[in-house]
A and B are shown apart, each in its own frame.
Chain A
Amino acid sequence: MRILIVDDSSTMRRIIGNVVQQLGISKEDFDEAEDGVVAWKLFQEKNDYDVVLTDWNMPNMNGLDLVKHIRTANKTVPIVMITTEGGKGEVITALKAGVNNYIVKPFSADILKEKLDGLVKG
């Protein structure tokens, strides 16, 4: 299973990566990007990701724009938005843009595991 983790905070990328590793996914099976521009480039180059986990507020290109870019090229790849934006309006905006699931920071590892399991099985 190939995963793309997108967050401008290196600490957050490591936290998410750690949870992903707890699910039995090796470090070689996930990539990291610090903003939407890098993530979009990786997505286009590799084009083999099974899940995209992305933050919202990032420099250069934010998570919402990244989701819109990805959806123009790929309608099926599951995308989970992991963000501090906890407003109802933001959740609706993200869902309209094409995210499959939404997690508000701070989150527990169990929540992320549960959402990832649901996406993989679904």
Chain B
Amino acid sequence: MSMSQAEIEALMSGAEAIEADEVEEEAPVNEQSDEEVQDNTEETQENSPLPEEEEDVNQDDINDILAGIDGIVDDESEIEQELKEEVVKGTKEESMEDLIDSNQYPLPVKNENKVVNQLNEVADDSEEKASQIFDVLSFILDENNEIQNYNKNMEEFIDSQVVLLDALSKKFPNIDVFSDSLITAQNMVEASKELSAKVEGENNKVFEAMELMQYHDINRQKIERVMAVIRKLNSYLNGIFEDDNEKPEVQIAKHISGDSNDIVGAEDIDSLISEFSKEG
């Protein structure tokens, strides 16, 4: 609601009149309290085993006691105020967290939440993981090379066995074990060649995967391009919104005519003033 200074002063004078009445009403209660305290003190003194010269309590002592009581009351009200503030603060923090959790509000501006830093982190993490994937692929290649070497040795041995068994089966055609073993050895040679071909095929797939890993570098450069755009945009926006004016910041109006339908009208103001006048 938009209110003029005169209206505010009128409201304030109404409020002061109410406060003054309240103070006047409260005064006899305070006097009564003093009397009660004095009576209570006298009763306590009658029951007290203290010596007679300490039984007289003058007005200053009563005032001291009351001051002490007032102090306690003030402390309590302060504590209540602090508690209220803590509850309000807690509610604010919770509601902010809720908004962040529900993606309605961005994360607070910390280094780890800045867009460029986040993108940089993504690029670095991706580079690290790509290197680890490359390690795995290199390991597979190395192992495959080992398998090829073992296979080659086995193939050489089986070839020699084929030659031997071929000679034996020709020399001893009636002994079936030579001819049978020759067939088995020949099959083993074929199996070894097939194994070699499969390992070779697997190696080709690994090389293919290594080639595809170039896209990691390409994507990293795309991320870097986005980072560069954000940096330039940041610089541009900072430049365009920069305030070179050295005038001090003026407190802004909360309710200005035309903002909404909640603006208080002349009739509303008059009724408010009359209401406060009645109370005064």
Contacts and interface: CB of A to CB of B under 8 A. Distances in A.
Given A18-B207, A18-B210, A106-B211, A9 B217 contact: yes
A11 B215 CA distance: 10
A15 B218 CA distance: 13
A76 interface: no
A8 B213 CA distance: 15
Contact of A105 (B127, B134, B210, B214): B214
Contacts of A18: 138, 207, 210
Contact of A15 (B213, B220, B221, B224): B213
Contacts, number: 48
B216 interface: yes
B273 to A, nearest CB: 71
B211 A84 contact: no
Interface residues of A, number: 16
A9 B211 contact: no
Interface residues of B, number: 18
Given A9-B220, A105-B217, A15 B210 contact: yes
Contacts of B220: 9
Contacts of B119: none
A55 to B, nearest CB: 9
B130 interface: yes
B117 interface: no
A58 B253 CA distance: 52
Q: Counting chain A CB atoms within 10 Å of each CB, which of B210, B216, B217, B218 scores highest?
A: B217
Interface string A83-110: 0100000000000000000000111110
B68 to A, nearest CB: 72
Contacts of B127: 9-11
B218 A11 contact: no
A15 B211 contact: yes
B134 to A, nearest CB: 5
B63 interface: no
B131 interface: yes
A57 interface: yes
Interface string B179-214: 000000000000000000000000000010011111
Nearest to A21: B141
B214 A15 contact: yes
B211 A108 contact: yes
22 contacts: A7-B217, A10-B127, A10-B131, A11-B213, A11-B217, A12-B214, A14-B131, A14-B138, A15-B211, A15-B213, A18-B207, A18-B210, A22-B207, A84-B218, A84-B221, A105-B214, A105-B218, A106-B212, A107-B211, A107-B214, A108-B211, A109-B207
Interface of A: 7, 9-12, 14-15, 18, 22, 57, 84, 105-109
